[in-house]
């Protein structure tokens, strides 16, 4: 099963985001949407940061593919190319993900990208290269993966396009100063309740769409379910 944040919050937002970027726009192909700065017709990329086995990548690919097929069957041919990219620090991740995605028939709209996410210069260059190559990264999300340097960069990066989404589901204390009585993850890797909100609000560039605490469903640990949109 996918993470609840991905299934119930991010997926509907992505469906709406993709509909704003039709592949064919006869009136003006360079006209930008009122809701985003994305140029119509470009490939839209969704990045799973720390994708691991690629479970959430597969879920999104399956659901967005069904959405595209449904739209086409109803005579709406405006859908654009969409790619879900699993980004991970470990080379072994691709060896697990690619056969899984192929088995689920979503290998045509998924990609495994090996990248050292601790090296922000590499991340910046990859995003810029893809923009030059006619792709737009319109969403970054992470499930139970935390890299403060990377999240700080994405929150403060000035060139992120209007409408870009950021989503995170990660271990979090239920209230400020609460104890953490679990062996995993270590407390140093657990977020304070308002950490993400403060990180994104202080830039003045993001609208917080969702910021709630939820149980993990396994051991009684609490998770922050967070979504923000670039304004």
pLDDT in tens, 65-101: 998 766 555 545 444 689 999 999 998 999 999 999 9
pLDDT of residue 41: 57
Residues 6+ apart with CB under 8 A from 45: 82, 83, 84, 85, 130, 135, 136, 137, 138, 139
- Which stretches in the chain have pLDDT values below 50? 24-33, 75, 77-79
pLDDT of residue 229: 97
Q: What are the beta bridge partners of residue 110?
A: 84
pLDDT of residue 80: 60
| Residue from 68, 62, 72 nearest 110 by CA | 62
pLDDT of residue 32: 47
Q: What is the DSSP letter of 8?
A: I
CA gap 145, 87 in Å, rounded: 11
Going edge to edge, which strands form the sheet with 110-114? 110-114, 82-88, 43-49, 135-143, 165-171, 222-230, 206-215
Its pTM stands at 0.88
**Average per-residue pLDDT in the chain?**
88
pLDDT of residue 19: 79
Q: Which position has the token pair 């072994």?
A: 92
């Amino acid at each position: 099963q996918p993470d609840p944040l991905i299934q119930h919050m991010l997926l509907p937002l992505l469906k709406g985001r993709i509909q704003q970027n039709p592949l064919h726009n006869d009136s003006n192909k360079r006209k930008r949407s009122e809701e985003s700065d994305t140029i119509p017709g470009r490939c839209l990329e969704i990045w799973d940061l720390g994708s691991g086995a690629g479970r959430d990548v597969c879920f999104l690919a399956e659901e967005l593919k069904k959405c595209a097929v449904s739209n086409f069957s109803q005579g709406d041919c405006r859908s654009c190319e969409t790619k879900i990219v699993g980004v991970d620090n470990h080379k072994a991740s691709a060896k697990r993900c690619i056969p899984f995605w192929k088995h689920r028939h979503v290998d045509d709209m998924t990609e495994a990208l090996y990248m050292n996410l601790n090296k922000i210069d590499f991340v910046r260059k990859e995003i810029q290269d893809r923009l030059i190559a006619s792709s737009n990264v319109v969403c970054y999300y992470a499930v139970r993966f935390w890299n403060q340097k990377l999240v700080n960069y994405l929150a403060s990066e000035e060139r992120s396009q209007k409408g870009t989404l950021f989503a995170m589901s990660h271990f979090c204390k239920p209230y400020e100063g609460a104890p953490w009585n679990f062996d995993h993850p270590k407390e140093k890797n657990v977020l304070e309740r308002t950490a993400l909100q403060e990180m994104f609000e202080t830039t003045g560039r993001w609208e917080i769409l969702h910021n709630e605490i939820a149980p993990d469903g396994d051991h009684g640990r609490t998770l922050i379910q967070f979504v923000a949109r670039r304004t």
